[in-house]
């Protein structure tokens, strides 16, 4: 299962409105890099493919191809301010060797 934080869901909805893509599913994909890390991609998609897995999180339909599901299962997508004024989607994925769980003593939004 893949989940979105409320902040990520708000940004997805905003992006869908801006791009006139309301009603389309959010397709999330992942591939393994040669160094073992994971490369992520996402975009709006109105095409259903054979074997696609569908999830709903925070009211957003998420679609994942079977080839990406193994790499993405258990991932949370967040939208955070990494630097002042610089917001990005981040993938909190325990299957990614670069993932570090949030330090419970760290201020919110500083997870990598």
pLDDT at 75: 96
More confident site: 103 or 56? 56
pLDDT at 108: 46
Distance CA 103, CA 108 (A): 9
Percent with pLDDT over 90 in the chain: 76
Distance CA 111, CA 105 (A): 11
67: Cβ contacts below 8 Å, ≥ 6 apart: none
Cβ neighbourhood burial of 12 (10 Å; 0-12, 13-18, 19+): buried
Residue-range domains of the chain with CATH = 3-92 (2.60.300.12)
Across the range 61-82, mean pLDDT stands at: 95
Give the pLDDT band (50/70/90) at residue 100.
Answer: confident
Across the range 75-81, mean pLDDT stands at: 96
Q: Do residues 63 and 50 make contact, with C-beta atoms less than 8 angstroms apart?
A: no
């Amino acid at each position: 299962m893949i989940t979105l934080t409320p902040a990520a869901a708000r940004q997805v909805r905003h992006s869908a409105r801006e791009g006139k893509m309301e009603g389309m599913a959010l397709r999330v994909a992942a591939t393994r890099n040669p160094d073992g890390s994971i490369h992520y991609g996402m975009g709006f998609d109105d095409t259903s493919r054979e074997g696609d897995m569908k999830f709903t999180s925070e009211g957003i339909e998420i679609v994942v191809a079977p080839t990406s599901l193994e790499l993405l299962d258990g991932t949370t997508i967040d939208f955070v301010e990494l630097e002042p004024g610089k917001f990005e989607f981040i993938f909190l994925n325990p299957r990614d060797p670069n993932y570090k769980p949030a330090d419970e003593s760290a201020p919110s939004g500083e997870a990598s």
